[in-house]
Structure 1
């Protein structure tokens, strides 16, 4: 007889249920979380990853996959982050305005070259000063992982309702374009340090850096991505004209074309992230693809799923046990100081210094915002794992600088990523909460100064405590005997007649006619004034009650001044 076991509880099955439950619950309350509390999915997914990871309930441990070896864990982390980043930077390139890189190349250049170089050296100096075991070359290698802006976290932070309302469109596009291309642009910073560490000959290291990295990886990657994007853009137009492609297949290009690009570039050994961004930019260069997919929401669904999966993975991957390691010269207080200094000095000073030369950063406030929002996330994890794969792994305690760098680069980068996710992910919620608290405190302070039993509407009007404070609108021009505006206009028409025109019989007839018309208007006005009853001080125009007071409005009699008597306001109408 076959035994029946209805419950089969395994770690993968629990993982499926936990991840699915998180996505479902986040989706149910997404309007509250994202549009009212301004908390992105990245921060919550990261916290959830820590909770279900090996330092939480231990149902999701990426480091134990496969045979549990460090090589297998690094390979899984590297390829997973590669796919997530490639799809993210491809989507950024596609969603930029058409021909954006051509029209805004100067702003991108300033953010990529001087700003990234500044951040690279600043991060290296901070790490070199606070991690005694690392020399400056090793510090440069670690700093190269922290130099680029993470495209996944940047999209989660800068996007959304709050950014759409408070961040100008030109600034959002600039930060998105920067985060899309500087992950691939970080390769030169990383490999110059690695070549100098691994290769004992400085000349060979510099030659490899120019020939292998710049020419083969960077430039070839940009060319491959651009050619793929240009080719498939024209192929898509051809299929659209011949009615060979359906609407659902348009949005599938977000994933399929990005995967094709990184597959080809990985096979030939070029920069796959820069190629994916170049492909996305060339693919949507003329705006045709954006126009065809503007009513679809598939890209948003893909972004949500990949963002959640990526940050749950990073949260569970965090090497908390390595944050305090005497053999690696690491301690928690050192990492905390490094994180604070990097968040303050990595971008903010150089953005404030150069914003006048960056066309798309127009004000000092935009410079401060751009300097603050340079988050580090999946991109830093990818580059640090790539660097660890290039270095010799120690079999025990590190014996030289290369082994020490291999063992310490991931813990340092992981702690800075932890700080960046928390700070940048919660900056907008805390800023929004601060504005609300400040507004409420001002309202309370105004109400506390009202020490009167007068009606509430009087707080919005000017207080009158004496009769002479009442302002009466009087026609002072008429009292001085001056002409009214209508009479001036009528008089001006009569004075337009020139000396040459006044001699003709036709103009004389017009002058006589206008004079008669003016006399008729004056006569009618006098008759109207005679028909009105002069005010005698007893005619009541309006009467109403405000709280305990009765207010009567009437015309003032001849020679009578306005008065304020016994809670009743008497005024001239």
Structure 2
């Protein structure tokens, strides 16, 4: 009964989102935010129609749902741009992954210790889980015609690729946090991290190459068309995730690497088709998860945190990422408006839920980890959902003077030509070959 109500509500919201898609894209809300609000309305806090297991009692289903959704989302990110375009962004993305991501984990852990008064282990768990930029929520500000018109292709590409890569690369941070909080030895955590990452890269590259070769052979013999190709990438993502689980490597990272390898060797038609997958995932498939999350929000536990919990959530959004990106503006070759935009729009969502529940499965943790983590996810969904459109419009006014005839970087399904990389001016520090 509960599942039927959940699916019915999500389907109704999807119909509204489909019918009013362009208008929704231009107002200060996002589809995940609408789903979260509907979940709160239908949940026990208001109408009591949805009766799902409480977050602190049973979250295995939430972990599984987040894992599957992330797999499809990171595959979509890996296929969103031509491979040569993605390869051309490796320097800023690598800097974000190697420097910004660890700093974000440390800053978030420090804020947790200061605001919530938790110990080192719990603070490390919170910091690691809330570090990755969520590819699902990030896609709401990097895809769609309004974003393509207002934002430079480089900014959208860097944010998308970072959000796809750091979901898997956050696992070593989580394992180190588990070692600090539980019985896992630090040496074992580092060895497990090494295998997780190295094994994921090898597995993803192999399956992506095989998948691309298979689809290329089918295309050469007229055995495939865009419909099966579109489904094939989803099946490939799930297969990679499954094999990764069987051999105990980082499945999310393996899927992302698989998508990049597939992108490099495939025909290119399926990448254009996958843009439609990305739109579907981030506008429709994500709705049941956020609707369910809204119905299980731990209101009583949030209330118990008091003002410290809200202070922590606000501090995380303001201090976790924006100052770090601003400090690295010159190494990242960003103009100030670009640094502000990329710094602010690093949302926390499905990936955080995935790692928070993963930590709960690995060891008994302080309930404050899940409570505080879920509060930050909810606040991020609301705040970034409300600021996405105004932020994009403000960016356009500040970074692109009135009367400029340059576009924002071209369609997502473009061929990687000049429109994909077009910048505001040739002299901009953000212009990078």
TM-score category (smaller protein): 0.7 to 0.9
Instruction: Describe the SS at the equivalent of 1:62.
Output: coil
Distance apart, 1:101 and its partner CA: 4.7
Distance verdict in 2 for CA 1:51–1:233, change over 3 Å: same
Q: Distance in 1 between matches of 2:395 and 2:95?
A: 32
TM-score, L = length of structure 1: 0.65
Distance verdict in 2 for CA 1:290–1:171, change over 3 Å: farther
Question: Which of 217, 220, 234 is residue 255 of structure 1 equivalent to?
Answer: 234
Distance verdict in 2 for CA 1:258–1:48, change over 3 Å: same
Distance apart, 1:287 and its partner CA: 6.2
Q: Is the 8 A contact 2:133 2:162 kept in 1?
A: yes
After TM superposition, the structure 1 = structure 2 runs for residues 379-418 of structure 1, keeping only pairs within 5 Å, are 379-392=351-364, 405-418=365-378
Q: Which residue of 2 aligns with 1:37?
A: 27
Determine which structure has greater relative contact order: mean sequence separation of CA pairs < 8 Å that are 6+ residues apart, divided by chain length: 2
Q: Distance in 2 between matches of 1:435 and 1:365?
A: 7
Distance apart, 1:26 and its partner CA: 2.5
Q: Distance in 2 between matches of 1:121 and 1:432?
A: 29
Q: Distance in 2 between matches of 1:79 and 1:432?
A: 33
Distance apart, 1:13 and its partner CA: 4.1
Question: Which of 86, 110, 120 is residue 71 of structure 2 equivalent to?
Answer: 86
Instruction: Determine if the alignment matches structure 1 residue 367 to structure 2 residue 346.
Output: no
Q: Which residue of 2 aligns with 1:322?
A: 301
Q: Is the 8 A contact 2:179 2:189 kept in 1?
A: yes
Root-mean-square deviation over aligned CA pairs: 2.5
After TM superposition, the structure 1 = structure 2 runs for residues 290-369 of structure 1, keeping only pairs within 5 Å, are 290=269, 293-294=272-273, 297=276, 299-325=278-304, 330-331=305-306, 333-358=307-332, 361-369=333-341
Cα deviation, 1:479-506, whole Å, max 9, x if unaligned, reads xxxxxxxxxxxxxxxxxxxxxxxxxxxx
Q: Which residue of 1 aligns with 2:107?
A: 122
Q: Is the 8 A contact 1:250 1:293 kept in 2?
A: no
Q: Is the 8 A contact 2:205 2:261 kept in 1?
A: yes
Cα deviation, 1:215-244, whole Å, max 9, x if unaligned, reads x21110121111100111011111111222
Cα deviation, 1:384-435, whole Å, max 9, x if unaligned, reads 000011122xxxxxxxxxxxx4311111011111111111111134447889
Q: Distance in 1 between matches of 2:164 and 2:235?
A: 18
Instruction: Determine if the alignment matches structure 1 residue 178 to structure 2 residue 178.
Output: no
Question: Which of 44, 59, 62 is residue 74 of structure 1 equivalent to?
Answer: 59
Distance verdict in 2 for CA 1:175–1:86, change over 3 Å: same
Q: Distance in 1 between matches of 2:346 and 2:275?
A: 29
Distance apart, 1:188 and its partner CA: 1.2
Distance verdict in 2 for CA 1:46–1:255, change over 3 Å: same
Q: Is the 8 A contact 1:228 1:279 kept in 2?
A: yes
Question: Which of 194, 202, 209 is residue 189 of structure 2 equivalent to?
Answer: 209
Cα deviation, 1:43-84, whole Å, max 9, x if unaligned, reads 1111111111222222223316xxx992xx221111111000
After TM superposition, the structure 1 = structure 2 runs for residues 108-507 of structure 1, keeping only pairs within 5 Å, are 108-132=93-117, 134-199=118-183, 205-214=185-194, 216-286=195-265, 288-290=267-269, 293-294=272-273, 297=276, 299-325=278-304, 330-331=305-306, 333-358=307-332, 361-392=333-364, 405-431=365-391
Q: Distance in 2 between matches of 1:98 and 1:240?
A: 19
Q: Which residue of 2 aligns with 1:560?
A: none
Q: Distance in 2 between matches of 1:237 and 1:426?
A: 42
Q: Is the 8 A contact 2:150 2:393 kept in 1?
A: no
Distance apart, 1:16 and its partner CA: 3.8
Instruction: Describe the SS at the equivalent of 2:59.
Output: helix
Q: Which has the larger radius of gyration?
A: 1
Q: Is the 8 A contact 2:128 2:173 kept in 1?
A: yes
Distance verdict in 2 for CA 1:98–1:286, change over 3 Å: farther
Cα deviation, 1:493-545, whole Å, max 9, x if unaligned, reads xxxxxxxxxxxxxxxxxxxxxxxxxxxxxxxxxxxxxxxxxxxxxxxxxxxxx
Distance verdict in 2 for CA 1:305–1:432, change over 3 Å: closer
Q: Distance in 1 between matches of 2:103 and 2:245?
A: 29
Distance apart, 1:163 and its partner CA: 1.7
Q: Distance in 2 between matches of 1:310 and 1:62?
A: 12
Instruction: Determine if the alignment matches structure 1 residue 53 to structure 2 residue 38.
Output: no
Q: Distance in 1 between matches of 2:74 and 2:221?
A: 30
Q: Is the 8 A contact 1:154 1:373 kept in 2?
A: yes
After TM superposition, the structure 1 = structure 2 runs for residues 96-115 of structure 1, keeping only pairs within 5 Å, are 96-115=81-100
Q: Distance in 2 between matches of 1:46 and 1:286?
A: 39
**Larger CA deviation: 238-247 vs 226-235:** 238-247
Distance verdict in 2 for CA 1:243–1:433, change over 3 Å: closer
Aligned pair count reads 398
Task: Report which of the two has the higher share of helix.
Answer: 2
Distance apart, 1:206 and its partner CA: 2.6
Q: Distance in 2 between matches of 1:434 and 1:278?
A: 34
Distance apart, 1:104 and its partner CA: 2.4
Q: Which residue of 2 aligns with 1:24?
A: 15
Distance apart, 1:298 and its partner CA: 5.1
TM-score, L = length of structure 2: 0.86
Q: Is the 8 A contact 1:96 1:281 kept in 2?
A: no
Please list every run of 5 or more consecutive structure 1 residues that lacks an aligned counterpart in the other structure: 1-9, 393-404, 437-573
